[in-house]
A and B are shown apart, each in its own frame.
Chain A
Amino acid sequence: MRSTYSVLVENNPGVLARVAGLFSRRGYNIDSLSVSRTDDPTVSRMTIVVEGEKVVLEQVTKQLRKLVDVIRVRDITDEPHVDRELVLIKVNADSGTRGDIMQIVEIFRGRIVDVGEYTSIVEVTGDEGKINAIENALKPFGIIELVRTGKVAMQRGTRTVLVED
Chain B
Amino acid sequence: MRSEDMLTGGQILVECLKNEGVDVIFGYPGGAVLPIYDALYDSDILHVLTRHEQAAAHAADGYARATGRPGVCMATSGPGATNLVTGIATAAMDSVPMVAITGQVPTTLIGKDAFQEADITGITMPITKHNYLVRDVNDLPRIVKEAFYIATTGRPGPVLIDIPRDVSAGKTEYRDPGPIGLRGYMPRLAGEPAKVAAAAKLIAQARRPLIYAGGGVINSGAAEYLRKLAETIMAPVAVTLMGIGCFPGDHPLFLGMLGMHGARYTNYAVNECDLLLAIGVRFDDRVTGKVDSFASHAKVIHIDIDPAEFGKNVPVDISIAGDVRTVLVDLIKNLTCNPDPAWQEKIARWKKEYPLDYSREGLRPQAVIRELSDMLQGRQYRVTTEVGQNQMWAAQHFCITRPRSFISSGGLGTMGYGFPAAIGVQVACPDELVFDIAGDGSIQMNIQELTTAVNYELPVNVAILNNGYLGMVRQWQELFYNRRYSQTELTNPDFVKVAEAFGAEGLRVEKSAEIRPALEQAIASSKPVFLDFIVEREENVMPIVPPGEAISRMLG
Measuring CB to CB, which residues of chain A are less than 8 angstroms from any residue of chain B?
A: 9-10, 13-14, 17-18, 21-22, 25, 55, 58-59, 62-63, 65-72
Contact (A66, B308) CB under 8 Å given A10-B184, A13-B133, A71-B183: yes
Q: Which of B316-356 contact A (CB under 8 A)?
A: none
Is the pair B308, A62 in contact by a Cβ cutoff of 8 Å?
A: yes
Contact string, B109-125, partner A, CB cutoff 8 A, digits 1/0? 00000000000011001
How many Å from the CB of A80 to the closest CB on chain B?
A: 26
Contact (A68, B185) CB under 8 Å given A17-B122, A17-B125, A21-B125: yes
Q: Which of B131-180 contact A (CB under 8 A)?
A: 133, 150
Q: Which of B129, B183, B307 has the most CB of A within 10 A?
A: B183
How many Å from the CB of B556 to the closest CB on chain A?
A: 34
Question: How far does the alpha carbon of A62 sit from the alpha carbon of B183 in the complex, in Å?
Answer: 16
Chain B residues with CB below 8 A from A22, complex form: 126
Is B207 an interface position by the 8 A CB rule?
A: no
Nearest chain A residue, comparing its CB with the CB of B155: A66
Is the pair A71, B184 in contact by a Cβ cutoff of 8 Å?
A: yes
Is the pair A68, B125 in contact by a Cβ cutoff of 8 Å?
A: no
Question: How far does the alpha carbon of A68 sit from the alpha carbon of B122 in the complex, in Å?
Answer: 15
A/B interface sample: 21 pairs, CB < 8 A: A13-B133, A14-B121, A14-B125, A14-B133, A17-B122, A17-B125, A21-B125, A22-B126, A55-B311, A58-B311, A59-B308, A59-B312, A62-B308, A62-B312, A65-B307, A66-B308, A67-B130, A68-B182, A70-B184, A71-B183, A71-B184
Q: Pick the contact of B307 from A17, A18, A21, A62 — CB < 8 Å?
A: A62
How many Å from the CB of A39 to the closest CB on chain B?
A: 16
Chain B residues with CB below 8 A from A25, complex form: 126
Chain B residues with CB below 8 A from A17, complex form: 122, 125
Q: Which of A13, A14, A55 has the most CB of B within 10 A?
A: A14
Question: How far does the alpha carbon of A10 sit from the alpha carbon of B183 in the complex, in Å?
Answer: 8
How many Å from the CB of B3 to the closest CB on chain A?
A: 31
Question: How far does the alpha carbon of A48 sit from the alpha carbon of B259 in the complex, in Å?
Answer: 38
Q: Pick the contact of A68 from B129, B308, B310 — CB < 8 Å?
A: B129
Is the pair B184, A69 in contact by a Cβ cutoff of 8 Å?
A: yes
Nearest chain B residue, comparing its CB with the CB of A72: B184
Question: How far does the alpha carbon of A9 sit from the alpha carbon of B310 in the complex, in Å?
Answer: 24
Is B61 an interface position by the 8 A CB rule?
A: no
Is B306 an interface position by the 8 A CB rule?
A: yes
Question: How far does the alpha carbon of A104 sit from the alpha carbon of B183 in the complex, in Å?
Answer: 47
Chain B residues with CB below 8 A from A71, complex form: 183-184
Interface residues on B, range: 10 to 19
Question: How far does the alpha carbon of A24 sit from the alpha carbon of B236 in the complex, in Å?
Answer: 40
Q: Pick the contact of A63 from B130, B308, B310 — CB < 8 Å?
A: B308
Question: How far does the alpha carbon of A5 sit from the alpha carbon of B133 in the complex, in Å?
Answer: 28
Question: How far does the alpha carbon of A62 sit from the alpha carbon of B282 in the complex, in Å?
Answer: 14
Measuring CB to CB, which residues of chain B are less than 8 angstroms from any residue of chain A?
A: 121-122, 125-126, 129-130, 133, 150, 182-185, 306-308, 310-312
Chain A interface SS verdict (over half):
helix
Chain B residues with CB below 8 A from A18, complex form: 125
Question: How far does the alpha carbon of A138 sit from the alpha carbon of B101 in the complex, in Å?
Answer: 56
How many Å from the CB of B463 to the closest CB on chain A?
A: 37
Question: How far does the alpha carbon of A13 sit from the alpha carbon of B307 in the complex, in Å?
Answer: 27
Q: Which of A25, A62, A63, A66 has the most CB of B within 10 A?
A: A66
Chain A residues with CB below 8 A from B308, complex form: 59, 62-63, 65-66
Listed from nearest, the 7 A-B pairs whose CB atoms lie closest are A62-B308, A68-B130, A71-B184, A68-B185, A71-B183, A70-B184, A25-B126
How many Å from the CB of A162 to the closest CB on chain B?
A: 10
Question: How far does the alpha carbon of A100 sit from the alpha carbon of B133 in the complex, in Å?
Answer: 54
Chain A residues with CB below 8 A from B133, complex form: 13-14
Chain B residues with CB below 8 A from A72, complex form: 184
Chain B residues with CB below 8 A from A67, complex form: 130, 184
Question: How far does the alpha carbon of A58 sit from the alpha carbon of B306 in the complex, in Å?
Answer: 14
How many Å from the CB of A5 to the closest CB on chain B?
A: 15
Chain A residues with CB below 8 A from B150, complex form: 68
Q: Which of B121, B125, B184, B311 has the most CB of A within 10 A?
A: B184
Question: How far does the alpha carbon of A25 sit from the alpha carbon of B122 in the complex, in Å?
Answer: 13
Nearest chain B residue, comparing its CB with the CB of A9: B184
How many Å from the CB of B148 to the closest CB on chain A?
A: 13
19 new A-B pairs (CB below 8 Å) besides A10-B184, A68-B184?
A10-B183, A14-B121, A14-B122, A14-B125, A25-B126, A55-B311, A58-B311, A59-B308, A62-B308, A62-B310, A65-B308, A66-B306, A66-B308, A67-B130, A68-B182, A68-B185, A69-B130, A71-B183, A71-B184
Question: How far does the alpha carbon of A68 sit from the alpha carbon of B150 in the complex, in Å?
Answer: 8
Chain A residues with CB below 8 A from B126, complex form: 21-22, 25
How many Å from the CB of B319 to the closest CB on chain A?
A: 11
Q: Which of B182, B308, B312 has the most CB of A within 10 A?
A: B308
Question: How far does the alpha carbon of A9 sit from the alpha carbon of B183 in the complex, in Å?
Answer: 9
Question: How far does the alpha carbon of A68 sit from the alpha carbon of B312 in the complex, in Å?
Answer: 20
Question: How far does the alpha carbon of A22 sit from the alpha carbon of B121 in the complex, in Å?
Answer: 14
How many Å from the CB of B400 to the closest CB on chain A?
A: 30
Question: How far does the alpha carbon of A63 sit from the alpha carbon of B308 in the complex, in Å?
Answer: 6
Question: How far does the alpha carbon of A68 sit from the alpha carbon of B185 in the complex, in Å?
Answer: 5
Chain B residues with CB below 8 A from A13, complex form: 133
Question: How far does the alpha carbon of A13 sit from the alpha carbon of B150 in the complex, in Å?
Answer: 18
Nearest chain B residue, comparing its CB with the CB of A73: B184
How many Å from the CB of A152 to the closest CB on chain B?
A: 21
How many Å from the CB of A59 to the closest CB on chain B?
A: 6
Chain A residues with CB below 8 A from B306, complex form: 66
Chain B residues with CB below 8 A from A55, complex form: 311
Chain A residues with CB below 8 A from B183, complex form: 10, 71
Question: How far does the alpha carbon of A151 sit from the alpha carbon of B133 in the complex, in Å?
Answer: 31
Nearest chain A residue, comparing its CB with the CB of B182: A68
How many Å from the CB of B399 to the closest CB on chain A?
A: 36
Question: How far does the alpha carbon of A17 sit from the alpha carbon of B185 in the complex, in Å?
Answer: 18
Question: How far does the alpha carbon of A63 sit from the alpha carbon of B310 in the complex, in Å?
Answer: 11
Chain A residues with CB below 8 A from B311, complex form: 55, 58
Nearest chain B residue, comparing its CB with the CB of A43: B183
Question: How far does the alpha carbon of A25 sit from the alpha carbon of B185 in the complex, in Å?
Answer: 22
Question: How far does the alpha carbon of A14 sit from the alpha carbon of B150 in the complex, in Å?
Answer: 18
Chain B residues with CB below 8 A from A66, complex form: 306, 308
Nearest chain A residue, comparing its CB with the CB of B307: A62
Question: How far does the alpha carbon of A14 sit from the alpha carbon of B183 in the complex, in Å?
Answer: 17
Chain A residues with CB below 8 A from B130, complex form: 67-69
Chain B residues with CB below 8 A from A21, complex form: 125-126
